[in-house]
Structure 1
Amino acid sequence: MRKLFLSLLAIISFQFLSAQQNLLTKFPKGSTPGEVGKRLAYHFVDGRHELYAGQYIHYAEVCTWNGALDYAVKTKDQKLIRLLQDKFEPFFTREKALLPPMNHVDYNMFGSVALKLYQITKDVRYKEMGLAYADAQWELPRNAKPDEKAWADKGYSWQTRLWIDDMYMITVVQNEAYKVTGDPKYIDRAAKEMVLYLDKLQRPNGLFYHAPDVPYYWARGAGWMAVGMPNLLRDLPKDHKDRPRIMEGYLTMMKSLKEHQRPDGMWSQLIDEADFWPETSGTAMFTYAFIIGIQQGWLDAAEYAPAVQKAWTAMVSHIDERNNVTEVCVGTGKKNDKQYYHDRPRNAGDLHGQAPYLWCAAALLGK
């Protein structure tokens, strides 16, 4: 009788887990990750470059490129892969002047898209370009400022500035370099930086202020950390010395985010301010972090899969007829003024929002 009971319990548990996992795969027609990802990826291909002051490729475009490539690979869409290659090809010739200089964390992350293209095509030009950007983050320039030299002397990137954005900008290019070369120095760099940022910036509740002197939990700012941690953990060796600390930071943040999800499935422009407007880029970043955690077995599917289902459904409702994600907060510098965050303009089609939607679409298509 006891064996029969245990067998029935195992069957019930399996069926319950399967039902929760289905929440990551069962979506109504028109809202499936495949359909949404295709709409946004092809929209990106047709779009113009987004530039810093008319000069260099903006990091938000790189983030979107990464998402479109991930989606194309997951769906084996060879046409899309070819179009994304064609969009990049002019950087080797007539658009070479648009390549960001290798002197700032937001610029150097450009290398990540070149390294992703190398993994798909094995064209060595992408590898050489991408590794140059990755290595430059740790190559101290001759005209380095004293604080930059101080970071380098401690083994950190000279581009360290303790802004949470960096935990996508630094880790994404170092992680892609690790995947391309297998050289542990790249993953070690990323992990060392992540531990520094966690120790310096994470609050006891698991969230992050926009800056140490700005005590507000801005959604997209926190989103960079929410995405950077699971992306890094996914490739970090299981026995890596920094893994426990990063996993602790990730799980603590996820628990807090789950508690702050709005009834409509979104997250607010300021995470803990329920009367602030629902913001799409931060919502998509948090949703992505949940998806990866569930798929990797770090998060309990029974608890987090319904949150993903609710968030994705809400997210899709914020895509307009032109395939633009709406309610995206514009680029936002820090300011110690709550009303400032409430009043930030919102753009439709801003690549800060298009990018994490594509990350989610690709992730929802499976490991």
Structure 2
Amino acid sequence: MKTNICLLIVLLSSATVIAQPKQSVKEFKNWPSGTSPAEIGKRVADRFVATPHTNFGRPTPPKVITYPESCAWYGALKFAKESKDTRLLTQLVKRFEPFFGEEASLIPIPDHVDYGVFGAVPLELYRQTKVQKYLVMGQNIADKQWGPPEGKRVVPESHIFYSKGLTWQTRMWIDDMFMINALQAQAFRATGNRVYLDRAAREMVVYLDSLQKPNGLFYHAPDVPFFWGRGNGWMAAGMAEILTSLPVTHPNRPRIMDGYQIMMRSLLKYQAESGMWRQLVDVPASWEESSGTAMFTYALVTGVKKGWLAQKEYAPAVRKAWLALVSKIDSNADVSDVCEGTNKKNDFQYYLDRKRLTGDLHGQAPLLWTAAAFLQ
């Protein structure tokens, strides 16, 4: 183990760093003491490292790694990279190594989007360390998402989607658009094979055409006509993920960029005075929720820094949202007011009554993505 970790650090320090275009944004500087993305990201990442495998707040350990943990792990790795924190990277590698031994049974079978997103973690580990076993694991998961339908979760519609060039895991829930895009975009970044990017882009266009409403927001699913905060956050973050890697010449980029920009304009309208967004985005009486807010902030930060969004219009809203999120972090680096795990239901009150949790990884994960995006 010690030898592998030492090798990892050598590889990291000797790797060629490719400069990325950056927008200088005054609103993203001069943070009040203790609120900067570098400080907050470090606190939340350290909290993740110290957190055992979690099972949606239950006292029992999970049978497999859950998607909130996968997303938080991915975020911690992104933050380690952008903050150049080799110690954090080493800790995250050490946490992953048991999956090649005593914790192998915790690797999710990738027969569902929530399980497949786990593959983004080894793919990011490969990108930062160039250790081949991470690529093999992650690429296998990405390939299975577009392979022939298999496993316990196959339903008749799976074959219909597969025959149309979509993943057989398509279910038309907006949550899918982060889970699928994070995995497939990561496979592209790790391999350079554009087939992964084409898959994700095609899938995203179908979801945009099917679920985006005139106000720029998204129903949770076709049969659930509510603008759930975190669900919309998954969609916003998923668009930011794929647009970050999609070439300007890609035929699906204009459609995805249009959907993204329409949504971002809508979010400005629905942002609360506090800087947060709500559990039901368009309902003023709804409670202010942290995970959706963090996902929206991630998408907005990315857009401002990449030049997709006008700084003058969007940067002040981003700063306000970030400081509002920081106010939700307690002394343990846990985020409060995070909506509990949520299945879809055609019931307005169901969404309003979801429990507000503290320390749930649904909230920790996008805070890490956002901190990394500020530093990028």
Cα deviation, residue 19, structure 1: 12
1:153-192 alignment to 2 at 5 Å?
A: 153-192=163-202
Whether 1:26 aligns to 2:30 is: yes
Q: How has the CA–CA distance of structure 1 residues 134 and 222 changed in structure 2, closer, same or farther, with 3 Å as cutoff? A: same
Aligned residues: 349
1:117-266 alignment to 2 at 5 Å?
A: 117-141=125-149, 144-266=154-276
Counterparts of 2:333 and 2:150, CA distance in 1: 45
What is the SS of the residue equivalent to 1:238? coil
Cα deviation, residue 141, structure 1: 3.4
The CA RMSD measured in Å over matched residues stands at 1.5
Out of 222-231 and 44-53, give the one that drifted further.
44-53
Counterparts of 1:334 and 1:122, CA distance in 2: 39
Counterparts of 1:74 and 1:25, CA distance in 2: 16
Counterparts of 1:343 and 1:301, CA distance in 2: 36
What is the SS of the residue equivalent to 2:258? helix
Q: How has the CA–CA distance of structure 1 residues 106 and 142 changed in structure 2, closer, same or farther, with 3 Å as cutoff? A: closer
Could you say which residue in structure 2 is the equivalent of 1:6?
A: none
Q: Deviations over 1:258-291 (max 9, x none)?
A: 1000011000110011111110000011111110
Structure 1 runs (4+) deviating above 4 angstroms are: none
* TM-score of the superposed pair, with normalisation by structure 1: 0.93
* Aligned partner letter, 1:83: Q
Could you say which residue in structure 1 is the equivalent of 2:283?
A: 273
Cα deviation, residue 26, structure 1: 2.2
CA contact (8 A) 1:20 1:305 kept: no
Cα deviation, residue 307, structure 1: 0.1
CA contact (8 A) 1:287 1:312 kept: yes
Cα deviation, residue 320, structure 1: 0.7
CA contact (8 A) 1:219 1:279 kept: yes
Cα deviation, residue 322, structure 1: 1.0
Whether 1:103 aligns to 2:107 is: no
Q: How has the CA–CA distance of structure 1 residues 270 and 87 changed in structure 2, closer, same or farther, with 3 Å as cutoff? A: same
* Aligned partner letter, 2:37: P
Counterparts of 2:343 and 2:193, CA distance in 1: 35
Counterparts of 2:86 and 2:96, CA distance in 1: 15
CA contact (8 A) 2:24 2:305 kept: no
Counterparts of 1:341 and 1:220, CA distance in 2: 11
* Unaligned ranges ≥5, structure 2: 1-21
1:278-297 alignment to 2 at 5 Å?
A: 278-297=288-307
Q: Deviations over 1:130-173 (max 9, x none)?
A: 00100000111357543111111111101111111110111111
CA contact (8 A) 2:49 2:92 kept: yes
Could you say which residue in structure 2 is the equivalent of 1:9?
A: none
Q: How has the CA–CA distance of structure 1 residues 280 and 61 changed in structure 2, closer, same or farther, with 3 Å as cutoff? A: same
Whether 1:68 aligns to 2:76 is: yes
Whether 1:305 aligns to 2:309 is: no
* Unaligned ranges ≥5, structure 1: 1-17
CA contact (8 A) 1:214 1:334 kept: yes
Counterparts of 1:268 and 1:316, CA distance in 2: 16
CA contact (8 A) 1:174 1:186 kept: yes
CA contact (8 A) 1:170 1:190 kept: yes
CA contact (8 A) 1:269 1:277 kept: yes
Counterparts of 1:51 and 1:277, CA distance in 2: 25
Out of 141-150 and 203-212, give the one that drifted further.
141-150
What is the SS of the residue equivalent to 1:349? coil
Counterparts of 1:226 and 1:142, CA distance in 2: 29
* Aligned partner letter, 2:234: W
Cα deviation, residue 343, structure 1: 1.3
Could you say which residue in structure 2 is the equivalent of 1:326?
A: 336
Cα deviation, residue 105, structure 1: 1.1
1:342 aligns with one of 337, 340, 352: 352
Q: Deviations over 1:87-118 (max 9, x none)?
A: 00000000000000021111111110000000
Counterparts of 1:236 and 1:142, CA distance in 2: 29
Counterparts of 2:24 and 2:96, CA distance in 1: 39
Q: Deviations over 1:3-41 (max 9, x none)?
A: xxxxxxxxxxxxxxx998111122111001111001000
* TM-score of the superposed pair, with normalisation by structure 2: 0.90
Counterparts of 1:257 and 1:141, CA distance in 2: 36
1:80 aligns with one of 83, 88, 99: 88
* Aligned partner letter, 1:155: G
* Aligned partner letter, 1:61: E
Counterparts of 1:113 and 1:285, CA distance in 2: 18
Q: Deviations over 1:47-74 (max 9, x none)?
A: 0102478311000001000110111111
